[in-house]
Each structure stands twice: as structure tokens, then as C-alpha cells.
Amino acid sequence: MVSSRIGVVPQGLPLRALTTAPTTKLQRTPQNSRYCIEEEVRVQVFARQAAYVCMWPPRQERHKGGRVFACQLHLPSETLEGETKRRSAECTMASIEEILEKNITDEDARNEVQRILYGGWLKRLDLPLNTCPAGESTAKVAGYAFERSKEQLRAPRVVRIGAIQHKIALSPSAPLKDQISAAHKKIGDIIDAAGACGVNVLCLQEAWTMPFAFCTRERVPWCEFAESAENGPTTKFLSQYAKKYAMVIVSPILERDLEYSEVIWNTAVVIDQNGEFLGKSRKNHIPRVGDFNESTYYMESNLGHPVFDTIYGKIAINICYGRHHPQNWMMYGLNGAEIVFNPSATIDGLSESLWPIEARNAAIANSYFTVAINRVGTEEFPNEFTSGDGKPSHRTFGHFFGSSYVTGPDGVRTPGLDRVSDGLLVVEVDLNLCRQVRDHWGFRLTQRVDLYAKSLRRYARNAGYDVGE
């Protein structure tokens, strides 16, 4: 017999579903940010002996007022402690790829798993380095090359894409000037490595010069990070590197719009290979979930879905939360994008299971390359803040899990950078693959934009939007 809070469960009874365990307290460390915050941690235990809904008493006695009574079990302390330790350890897992490499020792089996999960093995690039300086730390460097088919009438359009993920360089408690300076130093080091690796187009993570402070809801001092997109200090800083390496650089920052009442935007600045400001794209979709609180700082973009015609190809930027909206991805494709970057800042408990899917699906559906980039680490703020979900006050938003990757229009994707480290991902692609896949699958031929437009116009009009005639 197993005692529960509302009665007794007979041994051998059919057990189903899931219940939530009692709470416990753990000491937080930088490595176990998700599960070991200094607050009560609820642990959902999937072990058969601990996680179930009681199907007793019989069905006719279980209903009262249309509801089914479920028993919550008191777990043995050793079960709870063991499960908590297991889940804590998950936070330090570097990557799925690391687990596959370690546990699948048979080469044929590993190749088959890679084919099913990622579409096949990609050739590793022979890069001049596998680590590089990153300010006071070190970044891992990984490189892959997509297979390409030669065409009879078109020359290859080979481009090396670079993606940088990184932790903040200094604590959010440090003076803002020092934080920006340290971020510039860290990224400057990694861009030097990207230049040595022959990167042509490089993208940084969302709001890369600052901690992701929107969770705090504090306007001061975080709004001070906002700067001019055209000629602010960060654009000037990166322009030197763009010119030095003939590299197009995408720099997502917090923008202060000096021409429009100093309104703040979440903006990606595009700097061309000559170090000149080429244009900017703004975040179209602002999250209103969890601790993000971004809508208290800036509004949705007023720029639509711009595509930038660079010397290396046509690029676009779908910032962070826009990846949850398939129509957003589609519009960049309809406007001619060949590479769409998704610079992000997202945490493990919220969307890590979605992360490998969304950018990859967009690449397939729109016949272009996608580059998903996420920041890394846990950021602890000076003041506690609260959520709208009843959580106790806390100082951290969650663990940013990195895992940046690139997907081709054929659905093949690279392994991701890891979940816990600064990293530079270098990927060689042939942009001719976009047309080749489009011709093969015929998605543009078979899509019904006319039907979508009619339904969207009708829906938008009924929802009160001004969509014209």
C-alpha cells in the first residue's frame, strides 16, 4: 500500500498520468541555473512508483460536480532527491550531439541516427582553429560544409556564414560602460577568428551588447543601452571589422530612434563589406508570455520584412519571437531572401523543445537557408523581480541554452553549438541550392498565395485592422 494525501492506493492498481512532487530547496550554482535556483523547485517525477493519478475509488465514486479526483502522493525523500539531482545534471549537458557521440559507438548506427535526425552527415570544414579568444574566456569553433550540385549554366555561389553565441561578458551589476566595453572586446576577438575562417556574412545574437534585462521591467538603467542604429558606438565598432575582413555583419541591438522622438526598437543593423551602414530590420513580433516583458520597452516593427541585397547574397533577419510565426518566415521568402537569420534570446524551460524545429521547418517551407542563434548562460540581476505566474521573486530569467545551428533549404541541418559555451559556427553553403530545391519540390509552384491573401484579408478586416480595399 502507498499512502497518499487523500487516502490509500492499493498496490498493483493501474496507474496513469503524472503528478507533481513536493517541493525542495537547492543551492544555485552558475551551472545548474534551471533547476537549482534558491527558491522552491517543483520536480515532475516520471518514475512509475511515484508519478500517477489514482484511479481509486471506482469510476462511479470518483466523480463529484463533473470533476475527477486525483490523489497526490507523498514521495519518499530519496526518490525526490535522486530525481532532483538527475534534473540538475541535465542543465550541465553540453549538447545532444555530445550524448549521441558518447553513447552510440557503432559508426554505421551513428550515421543512421544522424541521417534521421539531421538529414545526414555534413562535411567538417578544415578551419585554422577550433577555439579562439573571447574576451576573458574562450569560444569553441565548429565548421561544416553543405553538399552542392554543380550546374551547367550557373557558377557556384559559395558563401561562408558565421554565427556567434556568447554569454554576457560582465555581470549585470557592473557599470554599463564596462559591460559594453567588455562585450565589444569579447565579440571583437571572435570576429577576428571568423575573419581567419573566411566568414563572409556574420550574425550576432539578439541584443548582444547587453544582458537580457527586459525580464526585470526596470526602465533604469537598461534603456541606456539603446543607441543609434546608423552611427552609434556599436555600429562604428563593428564597421571596422566589416571593412577589415570584407565581411557583412548583422548586429542586433537595442535601437534609440533619434529621428522619431527617441523611441526604442529591437533592431538588427546590417553593415556591408565596406563597413558602411546598409540598412536595418526590426522585431515584428513581441512576446507577451512569461518574464519577457519586452512590450514595456519597445513596440512591433514598422519596417515590414526587408531583404538586403549584399554582395554575398540576399539576407533577412527574423528576430527571436518571430520564429514562432510561420507567416513571418514566409514573407521574407516571398521578398527574395536566400539566408534568413534568427538572432534570439530564449531559455530552456520555455522553448528548448521547439528550438530544433522552427528554423529548420522554415528553411524547408521557404527554400532558403536559416541560421538560428541563441545566447548562452544565466544572467543574475541586482534586484529581484516577479512574474505574472505566481513564482516567488527571483533574480534570474533562466538558462539561455545556445545550441545555434544552420539549416539548408533541403532540410539538412548542422549539429548545434553547445548549450553552455561561447561559440562560433562557420558554415559553407552554395546559394544555388535554394533554386535547386525550389525546382525539385515545387513549393512555390504549389503554394496558394491567392487563397491565403483572401482569407487573411477577410480575417484582418473582421479583427478591425485597416487592410484597404
Tell me, yes or no, whether 218 and 348 share the same domain: yes
Per-residue pLDDT of the chain (469 residues; tens, 9 = 90+): 433 333 333 444 343 333 333 433 444 444 444 433 333 333 333 333 333 333 333 334 344 444 433 334 343 444 434 443 444 344 568 998 889 889 999 999 988 999 999 998 899 999 999 999 999 999 999 999 998 889 999 999 999 999 999 999 999 999 999 999 999 999 999 999 999 999 999 999 999 999 999 999 999 999 999 999 999 999 999 999 999 999 999 999 999 999 999 999 999 999 999 999 999 999 999 998 878 889 999 999 999 999 999 999 999 999 999 999 999 999 999 999 999 999 999 998 878 999 999 999 999 999 999 999 999 999 999 999 988 777 889 999 999 999 999 999 999 999 999 999 999 999 999 999 999 999 999 998 899 999 999 999 999 999 999 887 6
Q: Which amino acid is at 33?
A: S
Pairing of strands 376-385, 2-4: unpaired
> What CATH number is associated with residue 282?
3.60.110.10
The residue from 186, 280, 283, 314 that is catalytic is: 283
- Domain assignment of residue 45, given as a range: 2-90
Q: Is this structure's pTM higher than 0.85? A: no
Q: How many residues does the chain have?
A: 469
How does DSSP classify residue 230? T
CA distance 409 to 420: 28
Tell me, yes or no, whether 140 and 82 share the same domain: no
**CA 416 to centroid of chain Cα atoms:** 11
Nearest residue to 249 via CA among 275, 274, 271: 271
On whether residue 461 sits in a domain, the answer given is no
On whether residue 465 sits in a domain, the answer given is no
Tell me, yes or no, whether 134 and 48 share the same domain: no
Strand ranges in 166-262 using DSSP code E only, listed in sequence order: 201-203, 248-257
Residue pair 268/252 in contact by the 8 Å Cβ criterion: yes
Peptide linkage before 57 cis (omega within 30 of 0): yes
Write out the three cell numbers for 315: 539576407
Residue pair 120/68 in contact by the 8 Å Cβ criterion: no
Tell me, yes or no, whether 257 and 399 share the same domain: yes
Question: Residue 388: what pLDDT?
Answer: 75
The dihedrals phi and psi of 213, each to the nearest 5 degrees, come to -85, 0
Which uninterrupted H or E stretch holds 304? Answer: none
Write out the three cell numbers for 399: 538558462
**What SS3 state is found at 356?**
helix
Tell me, yes or no, whether 394 and 266 share the same domain: yes
On whether residue 458 sits in a domain, the answer given is no
Q: Which amino acid is at 224?
A: E
Tell me, yes or no, whether 165 and 272 share the same domain: yes
With cell 553593415, the residue in question is 271
Counts for the chain of helices (H) and strands (E), in that order? 12, 22
On whether residue 63 sits in a domain, the answer given is yes
The residue from 97, 206, 255, 358 that is catalytic is: 206
Q: At CA 200, angle to CA 194 and CA 203, rounded to 5? A: 70
On whether residue 463 sits in a domain, the answer given is no
Tell me, yes or no, whether 128 and 226 share the same domain: yes
* C-alpha distances out from residue 420 to 32, 91, 94, Å: 11, 9, 6
Question: Residue 420: what pLDDT?
Answer: 95
Q: How many other CB atoms are found less than 10 A from the CB of residue 339? A: 28
The residue from 294, 320, 379, 434 that is catalytic is: 320
Tell me, yes or no, whether 18 and 57 share the same domain: yes
Question: Residue 77: what pLDDT?
Answer: 40
* C-alpha distances out from residue 191 to 16, 121, 223, 373, Å: 53, 27, 26, 15
On whether residue 97 sits in a domain, the answer given is no
Last residue of one domain, picked from the residues 90, 106, 132: 90
203 is catalytic: no
Tell me, yes or no, whether 141 and 205 share the same domain: yes
Nearest residue to 369 via CA among 200, 151, 176: 200
320 is catalytic: yes
CA distance 373 to 94: 16
Number of domains in the chain: 2
On whether residue 101 sits in a domain, the answer given is no
Tell me, yes or no, whether 208 and 77 share the same domain: no
Question: Residue 293: what pLDDT?
Answer: 87
On whether residue 77 sits in a domain, the answer given is yes
283 is catalytic: yes
Nearest residue to 197 via CA among 243, 147, 141: 141
Question: Residue 161: what pLDDT?
Answer: 99
Residue pair 168/30 in contact by the 8 Å Cβ criterion: no
Alpha helix ranges (H) inside 335-448: 348-351, 355-366, 432-441, 443-446
Tell me, yes or no, whether 20 and 158 share the same domain: no
Residues 6+ apart with CB under 8 A from 191: 164, 202, 238, 241, 245, 247, 249
Tell me, yes or no, whether 222 and 361 share the same domain: yes
CA pseudo-torsion sign 262, 268, 274, 275: positive
Residue-wise DSSP of 182-207: HHHHHHHHHHHHHHHTT-SEEEPPTT
The dihedrals phi and psi of 205, each to the nearest 5 degrees, come to -80, 165
